[in-house]
Every structure is written in C-alpha cells, then in structure tokens.
Amino acid sequence: MHRIEPHPIEHTLTFKVPFFDVDPMLIVWHGNYFKYLEVARAALLEKYGCGYATMAQCGLQFPIVDVKLSYRRSLHLDDVAAVRAYLLECENRLKVGYEISHDGILCAYGYTVQAAVDAQSHELLLQIPEVIQRCFQGELCQ
C-alpha cells in the first residue's frame, strides 16, 4: 500500500459511498473523487480555524491552480471510504495531499495546490497572508 508519512496537520473523514456517486456498474464515477478531495480539504482547513468563510472574511480567495489524482482501486456503492487530507505547504501556496482508502487499501492519492488571491483586486498574492499562516503556526508554517 502507498502510505505517506504522518503529518502534523491532517484530518481524516469517513463516509459511505452513496448511490448518486456511482455509475451503472455501481462504481464511483471518477469525477466524484475530486468532490471527496474538496470536502476533506474544507474539513482540514476548518479544523485549524481557517475555513473558506474565514478566508472570505479576510478578503481572500484560494482558487485551485493545480491538481493531481492517481487512481489505484475503485470505490463501490456502500463502501466505507476514508479520505485523509494533510497540509504539505503553506508559505507561498497551499498544497494539500490526499489519500482515499477503503478497508485500509489505497484507492486514490494526489494533491491540490491553491494560490492566494486578493478578493477585491483579484491580484495574485505571492505569499500566503500571515492571517492564514497563523492558523498552522507551530506546526508546519514558520
């Protein structure tokens, strides 16, 4: 099994694969894995006090600028899946890694990269603002 080392800033959520996420073969449609990444990333950020609502209140937006997802095994209807999200970088960009598994078997893994953007001017910020870095202070961001 592909296993990334534990990270100090991580969150795991579990869910039962619902009917509306599967195709006629009762296999999760590949595009739904991106939804699972989004839900896990939002939960991770919220856990550390810098969820999307907080980012918006700070005048910030964080669009996805890069994503990679590798599939190893399909999830099926009613599988209980675990999505582990962990922070890899947060100085110049937010990079979050992911592992999606079922019964301890890796099904997919990858990462997303988000850039900080000023919500009013729409200008790209070359560094993650301190207000966001402070959410992770003492862990990964220095």
pLDDT in tens, 28-55: 999 999 999 999 999 999 998 889 998 9
- Token representation of residue 97: 């890694």
In order along the chain (142 residues), what is the average pLDDT of each group of 10 residues? 67 97 97 97 93 92 97 98 95 95 97 96 93 72 43
What's the whole-model pTM score?
A: 0.90
8 A C-beta contact, residue 129 and residue 79: no
8 A C-beta contact, residue 96 and residue 48: no
Q: What is the pLDDT of residue 3?
A: 53
